[in-house]
Structure 1
Amino acid sequence: MLDQILLFVIALAANLLSALSGGGAGLIQLPALIFLGLPFGVALATHKVASVALGLGAALRHLKENTLERRFAGFILITGLPGVTIGASFILQVPERGAEVALGLLTIGLGLYSVFRPSLGQVYEPSHRTGHGYLVGGAGLFVIGVLNGSLTSGTGLFATLWLVRWFGLDYKRAVAYTLVLVGIFWNGTGAVVLGILGDIRWTWLPALLAGSLIGGYLGASLGIRHGNRWIKRAFEAVTLLVGLSLILR
């Protein structure tokens, strides 16, 4: 019972923070699962399954706001899911340390980029909605999908900033797309692939799923209530923390 309570608290904190900033649940949840005794592959697969509940919790809140465009949502799924499948298929066979350090440095770069661009993501200004724009944007989402399927810590943050920077979304809309589509469908696909190729600690999932669902809903509610500037600051703080965590872990 104490283990289940601890897992619930970890999941609640990690996913509340992630739902507010648009990613980063792996900053707390994945290292915690490893610290509690799971091998990396088992911890990653278990975390992926639990992260689907984050997307469901956030979706319950964001769908009330009706901010998602169906065609654009379909585009994100079509371009990202193949990358997720590829990343999840190979991660269990490659050394993770070098990739984690590189990902950490890149994540810190994302945070600093947002810090030094005060107006970034504050206004909804759709851009690059042409053939060439969708081609480049889709390629970016594919690469982010590969990262999402392999190294889970903080890759949702990449999707959030890419949607803001390339497609001109404000932070509130970008976070909604990330939580619903990346949280449910990208992470769900990664969980299935990792579950087939590896193992999942099923006895830990009830507490993790409950914490992720509630944390996702509460974090999404905070983001909607406080708006783009608050979400931007949360995004910047989480990217810097995730980057440092990946480098120092």
Structure 2
Amino acid sequence: MFEQILLFFISLIANTLSSLAGGGAGLLQLPALIFLGLPFGIALATHKIASVALGLGASIKHLKNGGYRWQLVTIMIAGALPGVVLGANVILQIPEKIAMVSLGILTIGLGIYSILKPDLGMKENMRNLDLRGYLLGALGLFVIGVLNGSLTSGTGLFVTMWLIGWFGMSYTRAVSYTLVMVGVLWNGAGAITLAIIHQVKWEWLLVLLAGSFIGGYLGAYLALAKGNILVKRSFETMTILSGIGLFIKAFN
């Protein structure tokens, strides 16, 4: 019972912060599963399935606001899902330490870049909405999709920054797209793939799903209520902490 309660609160905190920042639930949830005794592969598959509930919880709140462009939705599905499936299939063939250190450096770099750009994502300035822009946008999302399907820790943060940097979204808008598309569709595809090719700790899933769903809804509520400043600060905090967390996991 203590183990189940601990898992719920870890999941709730991790997914509330992730819903605010547009990613990073794996910062707390994945290491916690490993700490409680699961091998990396089983912990990864279990976390990936639970993370779908984050997207569902956040989607309930974000979809009420609407404002989604079908072109962007299409490229986030068609461009990224093949990368997600590919990443989920090749994760066990990549040297774990090298992958985690590289991703940690990139993740911290995102946070520092955002801090050094105080106006970044504060206002909506949509761009690259032509055919070339969509194709290059889809290519970037494919690369991030490979990371999402494999390492899973913090890759939603890369999607958030890509949507801000390439398409000119505000932080709140980018996080909305990230949580609805990545949280449900990308993570759903990765979860199905990992469940097929790897063992899952099914008896822990119910409490993880509950924490993820409630955390996703709570984070989305706070993001929409408080606006870009809170989301930007949450993003910067989660990127730096996620990068540090990846370094720690890589050298433990």
| Aligned residue number for residue 236 of structure 1 | 236
User: Which amino acid in 2 is paired with 1:219?
Assistant: G
CA apart distance, 1:185: 0.6
The alignment partner of 1:166 has SS state of helix
Partner residue of 1:130?
Answer: 130
Deviation track 1:169-196 (CA, whole Å, cap 9, x = no partner) reads 1011100010011001100100111111
Give the aligned residue type for 1:195.
A
Greater shift, 59-68 or 199-208, is seen at 59-68
Q: Which runs of 4+ in 1 moved over 6 A?
A: none
Amino acid at match of 1:142: F
Percent identical pairs in the alignment equals 59
Cα RMSD, aligned residues only: 0.8
> Which whole-Å CA distance do the structure 1 matches of 2:74 and 2:60 have between them?
19
> 5+ unaligned residues in a row in structure 2: which ranges?
none
Q: Does 1:167 align with 2:175?
A: no
Match in the other structure for 2:48: 48
The answer to whether residue 5 in structure 2 is matched with residue 8 in structure 1 is no
1:93 maps to which residue?
93
Deviations 1:197-247 (A, max 9, x none): 111110000000000000000001001111011100110011000011111
Matches of residues 112-131 of structure 1 in structure 2 within 5 Å? 112-131=112-131
Can you list the C-alpha shifts for 1:109-141, whole angstroms capped at 9, x where unaligned? Answer: 101111111111111111111122112111100
Task: Describe how 1:183-222 pairs up with structure 2 within 5 A.
Answer: 183-222=183-222
TM norm structure 1: 0.98
Could you tell me which amino acid in structure 1 is paired with residue 170 of structure 2?
D
* Whole-angstrom CA distance in 2 between matches of 1:86 and 1:10: 29
Whether the 8 Å contact between 1:68 and 1:173 is mirrored in structure 2 is no
Give 2:64's aligned amino acid: K
In the alignment, is residue 17 of structure 1 matched against residue 17 of structure 2? yes
Q: Say whether the 8 Å CA contact 2:72–2:134 is kept in structure 1.
A: no
Q: Is the 8 A contact 1:55 1:216 kept in 2?
A: yes
- Extract unaligned runs of 5+ from structure 1: none
Q: CA deviation at 1:93?
A: 2.7
